[in-house]
Chains A and B, each alone.
Chain A
Amino acid sequence: MEIPILSIVTFLPLAGALLFIFVNRDKENLLRYLALIISIATFIVSLYLYFNFNAQTPDPQFVEKGPWIGYGINYHIGIDGISLYLILLTTFLMPIVILSSWTYIQKRVKEYLIFMFLLQTGIVGVFVSLNLFLFYVFWEAMLIPMYFLIGIWGGKRKIYATVKFVLFTMLGSLLMLVAIFYLYNLFYKATGTYSLNIFDYYRMILNPSVQVWLFLAFGLAFAIKIPMFPFHTWLPDAHVEAPTGGSVVLAAVLLKLGAYGFLRFAFPMFPDALQKFLPILGVLCVIGIIYGGLMALIQKDVKSLVAYSSVSHMGLIMLAIFALNMEGIVGGIYQMLNHGLSTGALFLCVGILYERSHTRMIKDFGGVSKQMPIFSAFFMVCILSSVGLPGLNGFVGEILCLFGVFKANKILAILAVTTIILAAAYLLWMFQRVMQGPITNDRVRSFKDLNLREIIFLTPIVILMFWMGIYPQTFLRKMDVSVANLLNQVNRKEVIFTKVKKENNPPSYILMEKEIKKDSTAKEDKESQ
């Protein structure tokens, strides 16, 4: 029997959470070590995916299928070159998050760790799902632990922030749920069978006017998650209030789910609507890039500065993905990983400062470098990575993104290039005010430099930053085929539809391949064996 490796990666954290229920809440260190071990174990298992991933095929790999509720609602998971790295990013960051919360989280350690694990399962679940319903379940399930992470361990305005976060995301995802049901019904009418398998939907071609509405419903859910301008205002609030670990996961992985959603669902399922909305989306992204940058420039709170920088960076990522060419999408995915690392690391750095000073206001700092030279070096590297300095990861992603955009639309590219100026401006200015200059606040004099634990969790990130910047082929190589396949899907559907559209009365759906097999669970099981 084959080992269900993907299920293990997904559910190992959940198992950890269950295990935690039986551990005494007072043994906090035991809990922490246990959490660390489980998260590292998950990461190691996920490495197996990387090493056994076949870069030659665009088909999903490590596929597992099983019956669940029926009527097309099955347990169906698998990964391709797009989701592989996002999963690795998640599993890679989790031990770091746990280490970073070691002393930061003092109350309700047990619950904190349980929620972290639930969150991880939710996120990885979204990345592996190949069934729309399963995807939706994970998508929503992820919200709950995040809600508690901000709501319990957050700062002063945590209730406001967490409610805002949940309402924003719920609004989007409910519309998506409606769209999923609509699709489900449509598919049943077309074929007489029930299916929520996304590959069946890839093969279904919809009438563009229907696509528009479905794309809007899906797109809104994803755009809020990214967040794209003008749906971004939940992000600074959530980030500012969230505990460091929550911020890291939020910035590094949660935001990527929106972009991933576009790539996995909205693009291949609604290509015509995509083409129709591209100009608007492009402009929104560019506004997001510049707007986020300008807002970051004037923030007084370090965390909200980094949050707005996320808005700007995610704008670039989305713009690159909307460029719909090889360079743009590969660059976009690569930049997602970079953004995960560099922004995650920035939040870790802010967290380190916060633990020492209990403030995040820029004006309360100054001259920290003198007190914390090692920290200063790490912080600098993280900032430079975010700024996109060559030799570090950010550059590779940024240049590919910008080049992809440039190939698609020169005006947008010229506007988007301002990001490299703005990013340097707001991050270095922040660095100057926080780390450099004379020490003005006496509190700063009591700061201790990084301890071993902090060095341990920052070092792997920094190493990875250099690795991804100097030898990106390790990562790029495994994406190419999947991305090419995605582009192919987007373009191929278009061609077929234009053929059909000339008929007088376009149906609301057409199936690309005549025989979509009867979706009986038994049959699917046979296939997977």
Chain B
Amino acid sequence: MIPLNYFLVLSIILFALGAIAFFVKRDLITQFMAIEIMFNAANLAFLAFAKSAGSLDGQIIVFFVITVAAAEAAVGLAIILLIFRQKKTIKSEDIKLMKG
């Protein structure tokens, strides 16, 4: 039986990696992947808690997140694709349409 804390530490490490990648990398695809990693870090934490508490709630949430993440990935990639078509770039510094 692996203790709960191991999972949580792994989850934190994954999350931190994702966050750092998000800030360090410049192209949208990589940033997108970084977000996915953070998602999965959260999923891992959920699962670990669910297992240790012996409740199914955490697992249900994880399923939910996975489904939503799949949909979100599709939409997100489509948007990135469209941005590339319009702007010929996917560097996040070049995109500031929402500037006030």
A and B touch in the complex (CB under 8 A): no
Residues in B lying within 8 Å of A, measured CB to CB: none
Residues in A lying within 8 Å of B, measured CB to CB: none
